[in-house]
Amino acid sequence: MKNSEGSLIRPHPLPDSASCPVVTPLSPSVVYASETPDALDDQYEGRVHGYTYSREGHPNADVVAKRLDAMEGAQGGVVTGSGMGAVTAALLGLLHSGDHVIGGNQLYGRSLRMMKEDLPRLGIATSLADPGDVDDVRAQIRPETRMVLVEVVSNPTLRVADLDGLAALCRDRGILLAVDNTFTTPRAIRPFDHGADIVLHSITKLLAGHSDVMLGYAVARDPALTEKMRVFSVTTGMTPSPFDCWLAERGMLSFDLRFDRSQSTAVALADHLAGLTGVKRVIYPTRADHPDRELATRLLGGQGCNMVSFELDGGRAAANAFTRAAQGLSFAPTLGDVGTTLSHPASSSHRAMTADERAARGMSEGLFRVSVGLEDPSTLKAVFSEAVEAASRAE
């Protein structure tokens, strides 16, 4: 029996058009049809470019990768289904059993977990060190050390890694320096300009910027290493969804404006918070009282980030009163959204640590991290003033 169109199911009916769409088309197709076996040979042997099966790559992922490549001064980067996918592609795609890797001691929670649990289980030894202290990192180096993984600005205490110092050390010892540039973004720093070998991103955060898509990105300066990460990510199924890539691209179109705006509001909010009774301490990398101010200024060239951390006078009761009063600011464990979000490390990102371990890293019950969004700065200041006042009244 013929189907009601009277044709085969998929006749490839793309309408002709002499003009092209302004918006990148969404290509959800899992498979791509070739004309002949010879044409497929040409594709597989690299004489022509073409897609085959979307786990191996698809146009929407390539569009996002190209944009990030341009931002980071890189080539051929790999887009993964999440930021952790990118971290995993670098660690498991490049390291071997018997290798040793040094991680920054204030890495993203899941990256730390990978260091502590998963890599050792697979025979890859790990150590943690302070990425702001090159001597501390040097002291952890072993003959089998293959990689150092750091973030430029740490969460939530916004300490700054000595990237130039680490790059010199790693170059000298033949160790790969991998930099997770999620917080700082290429708008503030391009790690390849400072000697990094690998750059990683969670696109989920500021780059996509609307908390509606999870994606990551991994690229190495050496194309052979990027290729290893690509093959690993394809084999392990990290390929992103075309729709997520499409959404991310849309977010990235306004990234520069969003970054500049949220960053300048973050500076203003930090100053505002520092003047409020009930705030014990404000942390922002370019503030005069920040321990890494000089390093931050040198590395970020006057830029900062959209994150401000601050400590309330008072403990959990004050923290509860603060979030209750800060209506309209999402108390939610993410960052980089168009709206301002609050995180409370003691009850979320750093809850696995003991209170003593947190105290040693400067994280009390009163500590909040603010991811500054695109609100009007004066509205934001008013909301924070009110919430800090409510916290001061809490018992």
For this structure, is 108 an active site residue? yes
Among 27, 54, 82, 239, indicate the residue that binds ligand PLP (CB under 6 A): 82
Least distance to ligand PLP from the beta carbon of 325, Å?
27
CA gap 248, 241 in Å, rounded:
11
Q: How far is the CB of 371 from ligand PLP (least distance, A)?
A: 10
Q: How far is CA 328 from CA 204, 266, 280, 332, 387, in A?
A: 21, 17, 23, 11, 11
Out of 62, 130, 151, 249, the only residue in the binding site for ligand PLP (CB under 6 A) is 151
From CA 81, how far away is CA 201, in angstroms rounded? Answer: 11
**CB 351 to ligand PLP: min, Å:** 16
In this chain, which residue has its C-beta nearest to ligand PLP? 83
Catalytic hit among 41, 47, 55, 393: 55
> Which residue out of 99, 162, 180, 197 is catalytically annotated?
180
Asked if 180 touches ligand PLP (CB under 6 A), the answer is: yes
Nearest approach in angstroms of CB 320 to ligand PLP is 25
Counting Cβ atoms within 10 Å, is residue 238 exposed (0-12), middle (13-18) or buried (19+)?
A: buried
User: Is 51 tagged catalytic?
Assistant: no
Please pick, among 159, 190, 205, 230, the residue that the annotation labels catalytic: 205
Q: Is 205 a catalytic residue?
A: yes
| Residue 198-217 contact track with ligand PLP, rule CB under 6 A, x = bound | ----x-xx--------x-x-
Q: Has 180 been annotated as catalytic?
A: yes
CB of 154 vs ligand PLP, minimal distance in Å: 9
Nearer to ligand PLP, 238 or 390 (CB): 238
The string of DSSP codes covering 284-332 is -TTSTT-TTHHHHHHHHTT---SEEEEEESS-HHHHHHHHHHSTTSEE-
Residue type for position 225: L
Q: Which stretch binds ligand PLP (CB under 6 A): 47-55, 83-91, 186-194, 240-248?
A: 83-91
Q: Of 254, 277, 246, 218, which Cα lies nearest the Cα of 79?
A: 218
Binding map of ligand PLP across residues 352-371, x = CB under 6 A, - = no contact: --------------------
Q: Cβ distance 334 to 341 under 8 Å?
A: yes
Q: Which of 57, 60, 144 is nearest to 98 (CA)?
A: 144
Q: Which one, 106 or 265, has the nearer CB to ligand PLP?
A: 106
Cβ neighbours for 347, distance < 8 A, ≥ 6 positions apart:
319
Annotated active-site residue in 62, 67, 99, 108: 108
**CA distance readout (Å), 175 to 38, 78, 94, 143, 197:** 43, 22, 12, 10, 9
Interface residue with ligand PLP, options 57, 59, 77, 83 (CB under 6 A): 83
How many other CB atoms are there within 10 angstroms of residue 324's CB atom? 13
* Contact call for residues 216 and 200 (beta carbons, < 8 A): yes
350 binds ligand PLP (CB under 6 A): no
Comparison of 276 and 305: residue with beta carbon closer to ligand PLP = 305
Please identify, using beta-carbon distances, which residue of 80 and 325 lies nearer to ligand PLP: 80
Distances (CA, A) of 384 to 218, 279, 282, 323, 362: 36, 11, 13, 10, 22
What is the distance between the alpha carbons of residues 360 and 246, in angstroms, rounded to a whole number? 42
By CB under 6 A, is residue 108 in contact with ligand PLP?
Answer: yes
Minimum gap (Å) between residue 374 Cβ and ligand PLP: 19
Q: What is the rounded CA–CA span in Å between residue 258 and residue 230?
A: 30
Query: Looking at beta carbons only, is 90 or 388 nearer to ligand PLP?
Result: 90
Task: Kindly list the distances between the CA atom of residue 161 and the CA atoms of 36, 179, 360, 392, in Å, as whole numbers in the listed order.
Answer: 53, 10, 18, 34
> Binding residue for ligand PLP (CB under 6 A) from 60, 126, 182, 226?
182
d(CA 330, CA 312): 18
**Positions in the binding site for ligand PLP (CB under 6 A):** 82-84, 87, 108, 111, 151, 180, 182-183, 202, 204-205, 214, 216
Catalytic positions are 55, 108, 180, 205
